[in-house]
Chains A and B, each alone.
Chain A
């Protein structure tokens, strides 16, 4: 309801830009002080993810002139930043690999891909809500802030597409590191197998969407499925014996 108040838009966007800037400076300073570029523990990874979420939100604002995504993205970025600040130390990578440039590429591209997928999912869900609202001719006031259908369709498709090269580069960089440090055994880990399975599925979804020109509700269901699989692969880190980097 507050979103509809013009004053809030004027206030929130500059605050989000300032928060992004200060968080970025803080994280960069912290990494420079540690003489490395790659995030070493869960806190730093979460911080980097928060920055990625915020950056994609600001890009959406710049290109599509819609701030609606901020309702979800900004609280998420805030929690991702706050939780490590108050949470317990969760261990860090002690391996000399930590200073490898490939690790930085692996982590940053994977995080960018997940941030893009998160927004793609968000856009898909908002699309479904807006479509339902328009179909049912609903006059519910609290959903008037939803962006136009076409905008959400474009955002969902574009981010799904943009996430793919990031995910590919991330997986390739990860594989390279694993090959050097652990050899072929690494590729038998369930988490790693799931990751490659997810990548194949991701590719298939993109191909189907592109070839059939699928749009609307069905396209949203399909891309949402791919995104949910990708996010569950992220969560599957707990099942991995070798990818749990905090125990390396």
Chain B
């Protein structure tokens, strides 16, 4: 099984192409189900935002190319699509996914929406049973990594849009915006957006003044505020803490003398002017007054640009974190790969121990020297203890080697433990390829002759093989413990799963 991520984003494809490939949230589940129908694809997820369309799959080695999904679904000529597609495999796919969810690959680095969009895709994929074991683990890890990057760096700490910069500055002046009064003069789109942001942050009263009073009334109604007649502008302005101006007036409508008068009326309480008009509505001299803060469109844009540059620097720290997380993820995956084999080994050991104890008991019974229940328990405990002790270090070593990705060491230990063997007491019994060896071949009461040389190569004087499941030892954890814990099991797939 391999993890593959393929798609297009704002760096590789124009908006025209991205538009053609976009999948709406309502169609995500259906698209994921279609993706899952490609031969060899075991798990799948579709991520579609305004800046990217990406397909994440867990697939077999010989699976059909994933890009066929895009060709078939959107009817785009492969020759047109291929130059814009990127494809990542395994660790690179994991790295890319981590970067996307952490907003390091976004057009505006640090924007918070992408994590929600990845979660939305995840929920859609789960709803059709397309995310189960491997992708589930990967996506759970992705969410943790994204949260870590956001909380341990400052990629999302500063505002990068004009409207949010205005809100941030207002908060730097007033602290909480609750009960603050906003006065919107002129009804431009950007000023309306800034006012909306301020109201969302708790600003209380909104006044709107416009040369067309009806338009002012309409806008005021949207914010639950009051429309002010343009001729009452100066009489009302001193009630406002934040004034957003965007009129088309050829000259400044607020000059120093106006601002001085406002300050007197406010007993020195500060005022924040956001002037997004061109030509400007507020005389720059106003900013010299104690208690008045004036920002025009250029000021806001330069603050936004500086914040964006700062996010770029923070992204470097985020990338370092992601390198670390990818490495950890790789190690965990290697550890998990060995778990099924260890589980099967435990099955073999259980069977051998059980068989040997029963064989010994039946022989004693035949001689009329049957063991008492206490003696049986003691023998059982002895067999269990011996097998646990013998298996403890090899299993620990194989887990450590798997975590470190040391394939040679893993192979050597597998060989030593007989994990590569097939048939009785070995792996992969051809008759029961999917069942644990121990379960596949357990034959209660079966006997092994003294001196029986098992394929595992372990032989004792009594002819028994002291294999034992480490999980049977009260003081010992299961071989798989500490591996599965890192990735909680995925909830069961819905019953209507198409596969």
Give chain A's interface residues, CB within 8 Å of chain B: 4-7, 130, 134-135, 137, 139, 141, 144, 146-151, 213-219
Contact = CB atoms under 8 A, between A and B. Distances in A.
A148 B154 contact: no
B270 A150 contact: yes
Contacts of B267: 213, 215
Contacts of A147: 175
A20 to B, nearest CB: 25
Nearest to A148: B175
A7 B310 CA distance: 18
A215 B269 contact: yes
Nearest to B307: A139
Contact of B152 (A5, A148, A151): A5
**8 nearest CB pairs, A to B:** A215-B268, A148-B175, A139-B306, A213-B267, A216-B291, A150-B175, A151-B175, A217-B290
Contacts of A5: 152, 154
A7 B291 CA distance: 34
B407 interface: no
A7 B293 contact: no
A137 B299 CA distance: 7
Nearest to B269: A215
Interface of B: 151-152, 154, 157-158, 169, 171-175, 267-270, 287, 290-291, 293, 295, 299, 302-303, 306, 310
B160 to A, nearest CB: 13
B265 to A, nearest CB: 12
Given A7-B152, A139-B302, A139-B306, A215 B174 contact: no
Given A148-B172, A150-B174, A139 B303 contact: yes
Contact of B293 (A135, A144, A214, A219): A135
A23 B457 CA distance: 66
Contacts of A219: 268
A148 B173 contact: yes
A17 B210 CA distance: 53
A4 B314 CA distance: 12
A216 B289 CA distance: 10
B203 to A, nearest CB: 14
Interface residue SS majority, chain A? helix
A237 B224 CA distance: 61
B290 A148 contact: no
A135 B270 contact: no
A213 B265 CA distance: 11
B175 A216 contact: no
B181 to A, nearest CB: 14
B173 to A, nearest CB: 5
A146 B171 CA distance: 12
A141 to B, nearest CB: 6
Given A5-B152, A148-B173, A218 B306 contact: no
Given A4-B157, A149-B173, A137 B302 contact: yes
A213 B291 CA distance: 13
Given A135-B293, A219-B268, 6 more contacts: A5-B154, A139-B306, A148-B174, A215-B270, A216-B270, A217-B291
A4 B303 CA distance: 18
A224 B295 CA distance: 29
A222 B174 CA distance: 22
Given A134-B293, A137-B295, A139-B306, A213 B268 contact: yes
Contacts of B295: 137
Contacts of B174: 148-150
Given A5-B154, A6-B151, A215-B267, A134 B291 contact: no
Contacts of B306: 139
B258 to A, nearest CB: 18
Contacts of B172: 130, 134, 146, 148-149
9 contacts: A137-B295, A139-B303, A148-B174, A149-B173, A149-B175, A150-B173, A213-B267, A216-B290, A219-B268
Contacts of B269: 215
A218 B263 CA distance: 14
Contact of A141 (B290, B293, B302, B310): B310
A138 to B, nearest CB: 10
Contacts of B310: 141
Contacts of B293: 134-135
A137 B304 CA distance: 12
A214 B270 contact: no
Q: Taking each of B158, B173, B267, B268, which has the highest tally of chain A beta carbons within 10 Å of its own beta carbon? A: B268
A219 B291 CA distance: 11
A147 B303 CA distance: 18
A137 B287 CA distance: 10
A147 B269 CA distance: 17
Contacts of A4: 154, 157
B303 A215 contact: no
Q: Taking each of A6, A7, A130, which has the highest tally of chain B beta carbons within 10 Å of its own beta carbon? A: A6
Contacts of B299: 137
Contacts of A134: 169, 172-173, 293
